[in-house]
Amino acid sequence: MVSVALKCPFCQSEDVGKYGTINGKPRYICKNRECSHKTFYADYTYKGCTPDVRLKIIKMSIDGSGIRATARVLGISKDTVISVLKKRRFNIIYK
């Protein structure tokens, strides 16, 4: 059996632990203090739920891309784009 080191998708730290299950999928928590103990899944059912896609949505909106264009480029629903933009505060470092 091959074991793969699981990394936090937010801070890339390998200091993660199990945090229960939801609908049979294991959930993990980042133990890094800088990450504020965020929880995540190893694999997501929907593409729009991944932290990488959510970051792309925010970056594309900052660049002036429209909601429908963002949804088309990322291959997700426009409703997902709208909900991410409503929920998120834009506390990211733009690279």
Question: What's the confidence (pLDDT) of residue 68?
Answer: 95
Look-up of token digits 């933009």: 85
For residue 93, being part of any structural domain is answered with no
Inter-CA distances, 88 with 51, 68, 83, 93, Å? 12, 18, 9, 14
Global pTM reads 0.61
Domain shared by 64 and 37, yes or no: no
Full residue range of the structural domain in which residue 70 is found: 45-88
Is 66 domain-assigned?
yes
pLDDT single digits (tens) 14-50:
888 888 888 888 888 988 888 877 888 887 777 777 7
In this structure, is residue 22 part of a structural domain? yes
**CB within 8 Å of 1: residues ≥ 6 apart:** none
Question: Does residue 11 lie within any of the structural domains?
Answer: yes
Same-domain pairing of 4 and 27: yes
Q: Distance between alpha carbon 75 and the CA centroid of its chain, in Å?
A: 15
